[in-house]
Amino acid sequence: MKPSPLVHALDVSHFGGKAASLARSLRAGLPVPHGFALGTTHVEAVFNGHAEALKHLRVEFTELAGPCAVRSSAVGEDSDGASFAGQHVTILNVCHEDHVVDAVLKVRESAHTESARAYRRTLSMDEAPRVGVVVQRMIEPDCAGVMFTRNPLNGSDERVIEASWGLGESVVAGLVVPDNYVLGDEGRVLKRTAGEKDIALRGAPEGGTVEEAVADELITALCLDDEMLANLHDLAVRCESFFGHGLDIEWAFTDGTLYLLQCRAMTRNR
């Protein structure tokens, strides 16, 4: 029982929605960090201590040759009607093969909490989760955030971008007031508003993340310049040409290179 290269994890019923979306993104040539996916049966085998499943997980992790992010990819997650955002955990900056098993188990456990089960009930989904897992090379970004390819407040044809220094989890978790940008359908900047980004989440040397104080002159400095905004607009166009309109995108810039971390349909249940 071996993990699948992420680019081959297309079976939503086995690998879950997030893995399948990332696999399709890779096949479309979008800038997704490489990695691998565990199907639902593999995750259960890890949970049950299956020696071969554990061995292959450790081997594949080692071959990625660097810190990784371990993310949930439950069946039904990141679908048109349900995102599960905030329900299932992501374990960032996993540095050692001894820790990757624990990370997979924590992701699985998060899908079995009462909160996650209640969320499933509200959507009339089966309460018993089937959980896949994505393991990707960790991106240590200069800045990161989210982008909606339609205005989430009124549905207009605008890109709405929120950005902060460091890992994008500071934006998703509401740890900072992020910068806010609005782009027109041609990529023209309609609005840019500086936030208050007094902390940045970074990868810790021993694994996990740490909150770092942001230099005073950067707290209200804009994260994104015109070239970066143009790159984000281009990414939105490429994603929408492949996945359709109305997307919720997580992204990161590292040394001027833009990465796509997640792409899913915008839902009311984000």
* pLDDT tens digit at each of 270 positions of the chain: 799 999 999 999 999 999 999 999 999 999 999 999 999 999 999 999 999 999 999 999 999 998 999 999 988 755 454 444 556 789 999 999 989 999 999 999 998 877 767 666 676 666 567 899 999 999 999 999 999 999 999 989 999 999 999 999 999 999 999 999 999 989 999 999 999 999 999 999 999 999 999 999 999 999 999 999 999 999 999 999 999 999 999 999 999 999 999 999 987 544
164/95 same-domain check: no
70/110 same-domain check: yes
Which tokens is 262 given?
Answer: 């997640």
Across the beta sheet with 257-265, what order do the strands follow? 189-193, 179-183, 159-165, 143-148, 247-254, 257-265
Question: Is 221 contained in some domain?
Answer: yes
> How many domains is the chain partitioned into structurally?
2
9/129 same-domain check: yes
The predicted structure's pLDDT at residue 204: 95
**Domain of 31, in residue numbers:** 4-137
Question: Is 9 contained in some domain?
Answer: yes
Question: Is 24 contained in some domain?
Answer: yes
The answer to whether the CB of 71 falls within 8 A of the CB of 133 is: yes
Question: Is 114 contained in some domain?
Answer: yes
The predicted structure's pLDDT at residue 267: 73
104/216 same-domain check: no
133/147 same-domain check: no
Indicate which CATH number applies to the domain containing 227. 3.30.470.20
64/9 same-domain check: yes
127/11 same-domain check: yes
The predicted structure's pLDDT at residue 70: 97
Domain-terminating residue out of 108, 137, 166: 137
231/148 same-domain check: yes
Question: Is 62 contained in some domain?
Answer: yes
The predicted structure's pLDDT at residue 77: 59
Neighbour count for residue 30 (Cβ, 10 Å): 17
Can you give the pTM of this predicted structure?
A: 0.90
63/181 same-domain check: no
Domain-terminating residue out of 76, 108, 137: 137
The predicted structure's pLDDT at residue 79: 47
Question: Is 201 contained in some domain?
Answer: yes
Domain-terminating residue out of 86, 112, 137: 137
127/155 same-domain check: no
Question: Is 270 contained in some domain?
Answer: no
User: How far lies 88's CA from each of 69, 132, 206, 230, 268, in Å?
Assistant: 13, 11, 23, 32, 17
127/153 same-domain check: no
The predicted structure's pLDDT at residue 270: 41
190/165 same-domain check: yes
Indicate which CATH number applies to the domain containing 126. 3.30.1490.20
User: How far lies 133's CA from each of 130, 165, 238, in Å?
Assistant: 10, 27, 25
